[in-house]
Structure 1
Amino acid sequence: MCSVDTARPTDDRLLGPCSYLPTEHADTVRKVLDRVGDKWTMLVVVTLRDGPRRYTDLQRAIPGISQRMLTLTLRRLHEDGLVTRTAHAEVPPRVEYALTPLSRGLLEIVAPLVDWALEHHDEISANQDRTNAASGAGGR
């Protein structure tokens, strides 16, 4: 795992905490972080934490997500093995999405980050407003 002792600078820190990774591993880490760090993935994962949800339930629970982005995000999560898609043979058809053990492991790691973001949102927004006002830039 990439980690760095922030208490004392070293030459290795200047290269970055993951500088020891072979290129093929760095590429793997980058791909995973690109996926879980995109705009919608973690919101979908967090929304599924309490159990299976239908597509329309997910769309209602995630403000601002378009039908296209929800479909794309669910498809990618399914391809990565992070979400199951269960189609029930009913009329009308019913499809449910649920977390896999793999994504539950991810959720354990990311949930504290989500909590941190919620806890510090107002402070970060105030800092952005202050910086924008000082630089004369408008809005975020």
Structure 2
Amino acid sequence: MTAPEQLASVRYLVDDVAAAVDFYTAHLGFTAHTNAAPAFADVVRGPLRLLLSGPTSSGARATPADDTAPGRNRIHLIVDDLDAEIERLRGAGLSFRSDVVAGPGGRQILLTDPAGNLVELFEPRRG
């Protein structure tokens, strides 16, 4: 595992910490790291540490309202075969928030975790 000081951390506020841990570990290749459910847990994939803060965690305290926030922030996970990942995740009963979108750099699709946070699966363009 990557040393803690080498990890980049992102916090997601979630309604159900256990459901979030299950989602990320069972479907997206994360490893459970700390589990203090129902308040908090974190999961790790490579250099990404995803902080999952439940309603009773300090991370879930209210932040100032900002009408300029775009609300489209998400983690970005690179996959080798987007179509195979979509099939695997649909087979696990997950649904997607978007259709596949193709652009100059590759193809992507969005899904949401149990709390509605966005996850982008991205397959880079080859050659």
Name the TM-score, length of structure 2 as normaliser.
0.28
Query: Going by fraction, where is strand more abundant, 1 or 2?
Result: 2
Q: Return the index of the structure with the highest Cα Rg.
A: 1
Higher relative contact order (CA 8 A, sep 6+): 2
Higher helix share: 1
